[in-house]
Each structure stands twice: as C-alpha cells, then as structure tokens.
Chains A and B, each alone.
Chain A
C-alpha cells in the first residue's frame, strides 16, 4: 500500500515536469511576413521546378522531387504549388499567410527536411540542421509567446498531489494507532518485518525506476489522448474528441482502413496457422525421431530469422513468381511466421496426452475425423487457443514482414500506417486513444488471467 502511494507521487511529479516542458508552444500569427532562409542552398536544378507546399503539424518536411512539404496539412488543406522563382534560395515566408489561414495556429513546431539530390528518388530525408535552427529561432523571436497551458490542469495535479499526501499521512497515523494496541512481542515482530523489507528498498526502487522509464513514452501517449492537439506533446486542454472520432469513424480514412485490415489479416492468419500448426504438431509428434528433428529444425527457421529476412525473402519469392502483392501475400507471410509458434504451443499438450486414446477410438469404430474431433481436440484446445492468441498478437504487432509483402496497392496495416505517418512527420492523433484503449484492455486481461491463476493455485 505504502509503495503504491510512493509510486503514485513519483509519477505525478514526472507528469508535472513533463507538462512544464510541453507548455512551451509556438504561436504563429496569420499574416506574418518576414524572410525565412533555408541556409542550405539548393542546387540550381531546383530553379523553375514545381514545388508543393502544405503545412505540417509536426515538421515542415521536404521530400521527393524538388521541394515538397508534407505532413498533417496534407489532410487538412489543399496542397499549394509554387515554383521557385530563380536560383535564389527559396523564400518560404512568402507563403505563410496563405498556409496559416487554414490551420490551427498554436500547433506548429518546425523541422525542415530536404531531399538530397542523389537519393531523392527514394524519398529519403536528410535533416538540414542549420535550417531547423533558423526556422525555430525565427518562429520564437518574431511571433512566439510562451503560452501557459490551461490553468485548471495544474490545479487538478496540485489537488491530486495534496490528496495523495493527505492519504499517505492518514495511512501512517492510522497504522501507528493500530500498532499501539499490539502486544510488545507483536510490535517487535512487525518491526523486524519492516527492517527486512527495508533491505529490499534499493532493489525495489531499481525495478520501479526501470518501469518508470519503460512506461514514460506510453504515459505520454495515454495523457495526450485526452487532448485535441494534433501533435503529441502539445496540451490544448482536456477533450474527449479523439475518442469520439475514433468510434464514430471521423478519424482519418487511412487509419480506419488500416485498423480494418489489421483485424482481418490477424484473424485470417491466426485461424489458418492454428489449423495448419495443430495438424503439423500431430504429424510431427507421430514421426520417427530423425524426421521429427528435421521438421523441428525447419519449424525453427522462421523464428530465428529476423523480420527483415523473412520479409525480403518472401518479397523476392512473390517477385519471382510474378504474384501481385496485396492482402493475399500479406496473409501468407503472416501464416509463415505465426505457424511455428502454434506448433510449439500444441506439441506439449500432445506429449501430455495419453497416445492410446486416439487408437482406442479408432478401434471402437470411430472414423479418423470423429476421433480427431471427439478425442483429440478436447485435449488439445488449450494449446491451440494459446497458439491462436499468440498468432493474433504476432500478426497485429508485425511490421517488418508486412512492410515488404504489402505491395504498393495502398494496403496498410496499423504498423505500416504508423511508419508512413511518422515518416511524413506526424502521427494521426486518433492513434493515441486507440493504443491507450488497447493498453487498458491488455492490462485488464492480464489482471483477470493472473487472478484466475492464483485462485486455481489456492484451490
């Protein structure tokens, strides 16, 4: 109990300091003029080229041929084309008013990206370090005011902190009073117990610090899922809008289809790999030692291979076969890396099962299908279920393999969607509530499983 209170306090303090940082936002006013130079000179070949400018929530990003600025703005406003006037350095400032009239002015942080000529075809990004600085300086010195975050959130945190302190103090007073009623021997036992616990405070602290670091980015996502702001790390007041958008389908169309595809692919892959893997496990279990070893080795290959190798090798196969890549190829790829895990979770159940029951069923006149359904499956299903869940998790989480097998037909799963989003320079805001909810669901599920396991053990 005490420990929980201490942890609560610590995390509150961390949250507070995070907010203190995030309240530094830049405000750009509509109609600002002024010259912003990209310090890096563009090669002459860019002169006369068509340039596409849009505003981004997170970064002004220059990619592709010539100068293309992409990001959030792409979804919010029309792209603006303009042509470099001369071999002069481009003057982005000229375009500010027309850009900013469309967008939420308090939400902009800038990064300037430029494609390097030799790799521009691949859409690579190179940070123009100097430009970043000038841009930011410009934004700060000309227009920015350090905006304080909405006041009530501070009060809320202060209140929570106060309440936490009061609860902690109350708990201590309460436990002291209870202690006085104990006999001296019991008091001594309690004191020794406490001393014993105190010895472990160092190691406990270590673990909790690790967890704190591990959860800091996640806490960031969760906290900022309750604000409307388009960029992560900018608090624009409490709002449930993102959750509403997520459930009413008002979120980005790309995100909706990515969620849909992720679910469909995960289900297909999990079902197919569970069936295939269970049959394979039964087959492997009944093999002779040598061939069993061979197949087990084969089974471990996709597990040892890193994502990128599985992805690339399958990509090469599909290229060689001339298969067009899309939903089918992604499903096949997911079955490839999911099935070995199903096999591995079913095999232990088989070795625990009495091997003669199946034969007995056959002897008593059951067909193999009947024997499978009525004798084997009831024994195997816990293994199959855990394999199925594992396959679902692996499939939803996969990025590397999907990336190489999804083709260019616009199929995106959540992972690849996040990747291309992050590459453009910002995250679709609705991703925050989505993953906050996933985390909550997983937390509840794990707690339920743990509690049930404990009960089983006690029984």
Chain B
C-alpha cells in the first residue's frame, strides 16, 4: 500500500493516464490503419489492396493531381504570404499587432461556411467554379498558416545583422537575399509543412468549391472509407497518405535542423 502511495506521489507518474490514453487512441488507431490496409474484408492478410492502388488509374491520377495542386497552393501561399509577413515585420510598421489580429480573425468563422461564401462570391462575379476557384479557396484557407510562422521568425530576427550587412556595403537587394531570406528559412519550412500536407489531405473544401468535379486525394479516401465493403482499400489509401506525411515531416525536420547548424557555424 505504501508503495502505491509512493508511486503516485512521484510526479513522474502523473503523465501515465495521458500516455495510456495516447497509446489507446493515437498509437493503436494508427497501427490499425496499417492492419486494415494489409487485410481483406474477412481479415485475411493480403497485398491486393496495394496492387489495386498501383493499377487503379483514378487513384493514382488523383494522388498525383493532389500533389501538384498542393505544390501550386504552397507556392502561391508563399509568394503572397512572404511579402505580407515581411511588411508586417518591418520595424517602422506601426500596427503589426492589429494587422496580425486581422489576419487570424477569419479563422473563427467556420471554414466550410467561408468556403460556401466563396462559392457564392464566385457565382456573383460570374466566375466559373473550377481549378481557379479551387486554388483560390485553398489559398484562402491556408494563407494564415503560411504568414504566421514567417512573420514570427522575421520578427525575432536580429536586426543588427541586417544593419551590419548594410554597413558593409550591401545594397537592399543583396541584403534581402543574402541575409533576411536565409534567416527566415525555418519559418518558411514550417509554413510549407503547415500548408502542403493539409492541402493534399483536404476533403470537403474541394468538393464544395468545384461541385465535386475535381477530386483531391482526401475526398477519394473519404469516399472509400465510408463505403463498408471498400473500407480496407480506404485504409490502404490512408496509409499511403501517412507515409507521405511521415516523409515530409522527416525531411522538414532534417532541413530545419541543418539550417540551425548552419546558423551556428
């Protein structure tokens, strides 16, 4: 009994309920995705799901298409978001807090509602709903996720480095490319990770924005997972997505770690 008391008075054990909870509801489910991906509907081991994926042209095409769309979206977000973050992080910019607030405020409106309103806006302006609308909507949804990390790194950046570069004779352009951009790279990386993966896996948004004419990988997974007899195939597609996520976050990690090391040297 006293041993039990001792265990619980050690604060280290206070995380145990959480660890147990996570094991049950995070780790086990992820393992189950793998299990379902490699079994058929009766629970026997099979590789047929993967064979189906690699020969299923719709799935492959959607997958590649989603990656391309996500790449475009990330690029657009970066091109629009970087200048915005840069302007806000300028020293003589007087209202950065208000501006930052204005950029997060829309996030409190449900994103599906915003998407529907975007569709309506496109209808009002007589613009067609298609790839353009899809990219606009995705960019609209994810832009704050790109601006924020970049703004944060730029704001924390040591301004004396820029001044030093200017003192040493660098013009504005050189100063920007050789000093500011390299120093803001960690923020750019995390912005890219925060925009790219969610775009690939997004569902519902693409469906609403294009009247389901364009499918992204997320919608495809949704279709299969909600169909009882195709659930295992849906799990396979999810596993593919999981692998991609693992790869990107791994690459992102090693990239930013490398960046930090470079900074130290």
Contacts and interface: CB of A to CB of B under 8 A. Distances in A.
Among A111, A280, A281, max chain B CB count under 10 A is at A280
Among B29, B212, B221, max chain A CB count under 10 A is at B29
Contacts, number: 232
B120 A233 contact: yes
Interface residues of B, number: 86
B241 interface: yes
B200 to A, nearest CB: 8
Interface stretch (B13-21, B169-177, B256-264): B13-21
A443 B105 contact: yes
Interface string B123-143: 111100000000000001001
Contact of A214 (B8, B17, B106): B106
A32 interface: no
Contacts of A306: 197-198, 200-202, 218, 241, 245
Interface in A75-123: 111, 113, 121-122
Interface stretch (A45-53, A137-145, A393-401): A393-401
Contact of A22 (B113, B124, B140, B200): B124
Given A127-B211, A397-B111, A283 B80 contact: no
Interface stretch (A156-164, A237-245, A413-421): A413-421
A156 B61 CA distance: 52
Contacts of A422: 112, 115-116, 208
A414 B110 contact: yes
B contact patch SS: helix
21 contacts: A122-B227, A127-B212, A216-B121, A217-B114, A217-B120, A217-B121, A220-B121, A279-B17, A282-B11, A298-B19, A301-B26, A309-B201, A313-B30, A316-B231, A335-B21, A339-B21, A358-B11, A393-B108, A397-B108, A399-B110, A419-B112
Interface of A: 18, 21-22, 111, 113, 121-122, 124-127, 196, 200, 203-204, 206-207, 210-211, 213-218, 220-221, 232-233, 276-277, 279-287, 295, 298-299, 301-302, 304-309, 312-317, 319-320, 332-333, 335-336, 339, 343, 358, 362, 368, 393, 397, 399-400, 403-404, 414-415, 418-419, 422-423, 427, 431, 435, 438-439, 442-443, 446, 450
Interface of B: 8-19, 21-22, 25-30, 32-33, 36, 80, 83-84, 87-88, 90, 92-93, 97-99, 101-103, 105-118, 120-121, 123-126, 140, 143, 197-198, 200-204, 207-208, 211-213, 218, 221-223, 225-227, 231, 234-235, 238, 241-242, 245, 249
